[in-house]
Amino acid sequence: MSDTPQITDSHCHLDFPDFEGQLDTIVANAAAAGVTRMVTICTRLRNEPQVRAIAEAHPSVFYAAGTHPMSAAEEPLATVDQLVALARHPKFVGIGETGLDYHYNAESAEIQQVSLRIHIAAARETGLPLIIHARDADDDMARILAEEYRQGAYSCVMHCFSSSAELARAALDLGFYLSMSGIAAFPRSQELRDIFAAAPVDRILVETDAPYLAPPPHRGRRNEPAYAAHTARVGAGVFGMEYPEFAARTQANFDRLFTRAALRKAA
């Protein structure tokens, strides 16, 4: 077995055209970098069969499904029953991504909020973690997450976190997790790194959001799960830890949140 510390890319999009015909190589590259698990995310429920097939074909790949907030006005509104039914698959590990994005889609804020609440209800019913996308919607996001939590507890990760310190604190106060993407490794992201540094290390995940947001030294090129290792090394520095220790902590965090993936690994 390799001595390379193991980590998990908690959020990528392996069904996107950027990876067409290359998945065996992409998964092998990840394994060589110590990225031994990946969660590939379905952003439109009509694409769920293709995303599921990727997870079924690769032992190291798990999947989640939901309606991305930027698609909420274009796609049929998901139902709780629909999401719960999808969650019966043994490699289905999370609900989403869902959330709020007012940067490009502020005009669909109302339907985004309805969609978000549906996904929260499904996360609550299934016991699987909610996967949140948040951009330029901090106040509404914090309010809805807290309102819904008062209606019944659920677990959650703030994927690709790059929002305010206030939203980070609101999420952490609810027991949620923050995920570090390549953005946290960009040279001009010191303010974001400071937000992560103020968080408990036992609430931190790492991800790529591949094919987007490649960290240095690959910035500006297509991202892939192997590059989560670059972000994780930056994360180790943020928390003043050696890389193997930080990798182990993020693995434990992932297992605690994504319990279905952890059980499969144990089996």
Q: Is residue 1 part of a domain?
A: no
Determine contact, residues 80/118, Cβ cutoff 8 Å: yes
Instruction: Give the whole-number percent of the chain exceeding pLDDT 90.
Output: 97
DSSP per residue over 134-178, as a string? EES-HHHHHHHHHHHHHHS---EEETT--S-HHHHHHHHHTT-EE
Q: Cα(190)–Cα(201) distance, rounded to whole angstroms?
A: 17
Mean pLDDT of 112-132: 98
133 known ligand binder: yes
245 known ligand binder: no
Mean pLDDT of 81-110: 97
Mean pLDDT of 256-261: 97
119 known ligand binder: no
Per the structure, how many domains does the chain have? 1
Q: Is residue 74 part of a domain?
A: yes
Q: Is residue 225 part of a domain?
A: yes
Q: In the numeric block, which tokens belong to residue 52?
A: 């599921």
Mean pLDDT of 67-77: 97
209 known ligand binder: yes
Expressed as residue numbers, the domain containing 58 is 7-266
CATH code, domain with 77: 3.20.20.140
Q: Is residue 17 part of a domain?
A: yes
Q: Cα(245)–Cα(70) distance, rounded to whole angstroms?
A: 36
Segment 141-198, tens digit of pLDDT: 999 999 999 999 999 999 999 999 999 999 999 999 999 999 999 999 999 999 999 9
What does the pLDDT read at residue 2? 64
Percent composition of the chain: helix, strand, coil (DSSP 3-state, to 5): 50, 15, 30
What does the pLDDT read at residue 267? 63
**Angle subtended by helix axes 228-238 and 190-197, to nearest 10:** 70
The mean predicted confidence, pLDDT, of the chain is: 97
58 known ligand binder: no
